[in-house]
Structure 1
Amino acid sequence: MVRCLALILLLALAAVAAPPARAQSAGIVAVVNGDVITTFDIESRRRLFAAAAGLPMSPEVLARITPQVRRLLVDERLRLQEVQRRRILVSDAEVAAAIRRIEQQNGMSAGGLRASLARQGIDIRALYGQLRASIGWTKLVRAELGTQAQVDPELVQERIRAIEAATGQPEYLVGEIFIAVDDPAQEDEAARTAADLIEQLRRGAPFPAVAAQFSQAQSADQGGDLGWVRRGQLEPEVEAVITQMPVGAVSIPIRTAGGFSIVTLRGRREVGRDMATLLDLRQAFFPFDTRLDPQRPTPQQIRQLEAARRVSEGARGCEAFERAVRAAGTAQLNVPGEIRLETQNPEMQRVLGGLAPGRVSDPLPTPDGIVLLVVCGRRTENLAAPNPEAIAEAILRERVDLLSRQMMRDLRRRADIDFRA
């Protein structure tokens, strides 16, 4: 089963906590305002990124991503130091809520994330620390916004009028990776970093995982997602490239006023026109112990198929489906929430399009297990229609991103950073 983006990003962002004895013996890579980054920190992070991005953990791959990982860890240390200096508090309840959201997005029971990370050799305490730093930085930036954190309703209405006036014009679903250049002396290093990231993307690394790990824009928290943008909303250099790109393409590094941008075009539509069928979905997966040979199914695979059939034939409605899956004991329940029917592959569109709400699908065999689907709700919506709440949130994200870049630029300029061999 494909892991949800939330879990992929966390695996990309989490760092393995070093056992004390090993941390003491690790070499020093950099000293950031007196705080040490060790070779063990670098090794842990680059292996985690390779695993999350699906890259082989060969010496060549790990060596290639080392400069980006070092830069990433320096920036993270600067953010954490500023959060601590400003005495921004992150409660245990906030961290626990973030953990629970991830578990729910991945259909895990309480404590499931801890077990999942443990199987991959990741200490959950390191994840707690990363979440505290991420939550703390976001709280700090929003606090610094002051009154700018409140979006004037008239500004929202102005945006709505602009969208209505642009109805029928093209708009673009964009992802970005941003590498800052705060000083002309950093130009060559930033250009090399951008080129290395392009190489990783060409070798198959997922754009959201690379953005979450290495982008220095606030959009990294969303895997680089900028959402839908129109002409005039991007920097001119980026807009000139985006408007000519085919969907799915990734740009070369684009030099802008603040640094280098790498962008991907995820979709194209007309402003104000995007009718969609949205399904509230539940999914159950009955895993096989070994890969399925349709001609010679194993006893375990036959038992899983029978268990899936019992759920399919006996459950009516979403609540009954969830209870039956949990009672089966051998299945994983996933709650992906609303999905868009039109974005699914043709076979999945056929299956989901023919399911009445509350009716469970027939068992769907895959090489790795049996899938059951149930549609809990179905609605049609114009996704391109102006939404005041979404527009206000987009305006706030723009302000947060701009301020976050400014604050990071100031932190880097004031920092005492000593790189070691």
Structure 2
Amino acid sequence: MRYLARPFAVASLAICGLVLLPICCAAFAQEPLEINGIAAIVNGDVITISQVRSLSQPREKQLRAQFTGQELEKQLKAARELALKDLIDRQLVLQAFKKEKYEIPDHFIDERVHEIIRENFGGDRNTFIKTLEAQNYTLGEFRQKEMEQMIVQAMRSHNVKAKSVISPPKVDEYYRKHRDEFTSKETIKLRMIMIPGQKDTATAPAQKALAEEVLGRLAGGAEFGQTAQVYSEDSTRDNGGDWGWIERNTLAGPLEKIAFSMPVGRVSNIIDYAGNYYILKVEDKQGGTTKSLAEVRADIEKKLIQEEAQQIQERWIASLREKAYIKTF
């Protein structure tokens, strides 16, 4: 007999959110499920249609609220196929656990059940039992499902045999290729004056001359907001041309390029764009700074270790599938 104690201890924390769903959702209303029917056979073990539908049902509920008709059917089919794949993988892991003759001590399961009762039922065991009964679970069935969850998580952890070591060059390369992940979003506080290139009462040259006059007033010390209220003709006129804080991709390309390159407090020259004349002022800036490699090295290492662990687990599951007899219906 071999105990899978250490990986289990880690996994038991990781699965808390998964195992509580069946007993902690007050509105656990389900559509009628098909009771009979085989969805797959995995090395002689049967996965039923009702198991697939039970696992896919939360996702199906979301899909029914989003789609209709043929698109809904397509999405439901994909959700059920994914649920079946997950159940097949789960069965393969359980079989691998049994083949290795591992054991999970009963007291681990007892501790987990007690933890659920304490944290989700205020320590009231009777309420916990009644909740199980209301959802057609026996305590034995719940313990079995809980143990299977523990096994799956423990075996996954167990097969990532040693903590990965990520080389410094690999961290450096990730930083170079993903600098945007470590750069804060750049925003500017902008004011704008827009003078149309043509008006019914004025010619194009007259409008250009007006824009030059406005720029001259600003250069002479006129307050930008008050000037915008008098001369600007865009939707922010009444607010003194105040656009507030904006991000990139808010303005048209040429205006954005100039606005985000201007220093705080500077008034732009006249910008002739799309037949109109613009004058910009950046009142403040935030963000746009990139954290140094030293600041984010630990985070990158953690991310790369997690990715490598995931790849190891996926290869392990793939190897189990290759050796298994799997038939779907």
TM beyond 0.5:
no
More strand per residue: 1 or 2?
A: 1
With the shorter chain as reference, the TM-score category is: 0.3 to 0.5
| Larger relative contact order (CA 8 Å, sep ≥ 6) | 2
Q: Name the TM-score, length of structure 2 as normaliser.
A: 0.43
Q: Name the TM-score, length of structure 1 as normaliser.
A: 0.35
